[in-house]
Amino acid sequence: MDYDVIDASISPTGRLDILSKSEVSLLLDTSQGGLYQMLRRCSLAVLNSGGFIDDGQELLDRYKSFEISLVQNERGIRLALKGAPAVAFVDGHIIKGISEHLFSVLRDIIYVSNEISGNPSFDLQSPEGTTDAVFHILRNANILRPVVRPSLPNLVVCWGGHSIPRHEYDYTKLVGYEMGLRGLDICTGCGPGAMKGPMKGAAIGHAKQRIVGGRYLGITEPGIIAAESPNPIVNDLVIMPDIEKRLEAFVRTGHAIVVFPGGAGTAEEILYLLGILLHPDNAEIPYPLILTGPERAAEYFHQIHQFIGQTLGPTAQARYQIIIDDPERVAREAVEGIRRVREFRKRREDAYYFNWLLKIAPEFQKPFAPTHENMRGLELHRDQPPHRLAANLRRAFSGIVAGNVKEAGRRAVEQHGLFEIRGEPAIMAQMDKLLKSFIAQQRMKLPGKEYAPCYRVVR
């Protein structure tokens, strides 16, 4: 099947208008050590905004002829696109938001390569060094800003699946609308589904309240961006180097988190935050966490709640609340939770725009490579502190996400067979039950696509 494509040359929007010769060479280097393939994959994902696809390899196969290059002249740089998806253009001109996202990709890839990777100033083997790197990446992207409205910090992180039915998507819009009416800004993983809905609803709420400058922040990473192309509402986009720094960026910048129904990726996010909150050093830190969905999603949250109770225990269950089919209450609880966050941070003299006080242990920061050996070697038993069990459970779900949608993970499964997940029988039984429910509810792939498991649970 042929897809409409277009060739174009575009100028940067923003402050990234000049590059050094070495930066250009590295970006156009197609060798294993170069950045070209990452730039190509991320740029193609941005250009495919709105495309109904959640398979990075399928996207690359669909636009095999796509190429991107940088052209330098005396006035700065331009991006030359060949074989780009025509959906990114109107009457031959690139959509402005997509153009901004393209240069966000370029900005973050260059900054991480030049200023973070291999820089002795950032000790990425230490928790403090990793957090410092996350801070600098976000600051360079102009994500960290002092509170401009005098009332309160107001950024709500929304997690949830990209593969959700229409009634769940509509519910996310209603929740976003109620939060927008209350002056709350939205941060998501930037993709479709439960990542787009809250932003769309909040945009209407902001418009009704005549709020100018509402923020719709999208945080992604190179391994997932092709499966979750940035939705067009995102007005701030940042590409973190890996999933662990992406997750840390969410919890450091957000003031509350609302979770909608999803699949393995959403379970990974919930376990990540619960594992952090279960650390003894974080016991007194307020962090509003709300799980919500329409009435028809009640069983989904019952299964999640049961899984958490059977693995991490009642202390973990006490760190969140479940609200079913009540968007207005979700928004009110988010506002009240943020009020407690504001008072705590003011009392402790912590910044509103970055949660420095939150303790994030190394097991939540070290990048997890979902190889067959690493997946088999996960310590999934209750003979360890709950926050460490949460970290290992998070890694298991991260491996499943990689096998589902990430190019490297899918290739590993194709070459070496299914990932094996082993552990304490009682935990494996609960995990198997939860994952089977995700499959039955079609939460592992976009609607209409058959899901082939990338894993095997060994009891």
Domains and their CATH numbers in the chain: 5-117 (3.30.1850.10), 123-459 (3.40.50.450)
Average pLDDT, the chain: 90
* Residue burial 230-244, b: 16+ Cβ < 10 Å; e: rest: bbbbbbbbbbbbbbb
pLDDT of residue 456: 94
Q: Is a pLDDT exceeding 90 seen at residue 425?
A: yes
Asked whether 405 and 264 are in contact (CB, 8 A), the reply is no
Lay out the sheet containing 256-259: strands in order across.
236-239, 216-220, 185-188, 155-159, 256-259, 289-293, 321-324
48-52, 120-124, 217-221, 334-338: the lowest-pLDDT one: 48-52
pLDDT of residue 150: 46
Name the pLDDT band for 255 (thresholds 50, 70, 90).
very high
Specify the higher pLDDT residue, 145 or 234. Answer: 234
* pTM summary value: 0.92
Specify the higher pLDDT residue, 73 or 413. Answer: 413
Q: Is a pLDDT exceeding 80 seen at residue 23?
A: no
16-30, 34-48, 155-169, 196-210: the lowest-pLDDT one: 16-30
pLDDT of residue 227: 74
Sequence-ordered strand ranges (E) for 374-445: 419-422
**Distance of alpha carbon 238 from alpha carbon 47, whole angstroms:** 15
63-77, 208-222, 284-298, 390-404: the lowest-pLDDT one: 63-77
36-45, 145-154, 336-345: the lowest-pLDDT one: 145-154
Mean pLDDT value of segment 404-414: 87
pLDDT of residue 406: 82
Q: Is a pLDDT exceeding 70 seen at residue 35?
A: yes
3-state secondary structure of 231: coil
Asked whether 110 and 19 are in contact (CB, 8 A), the reply is yes
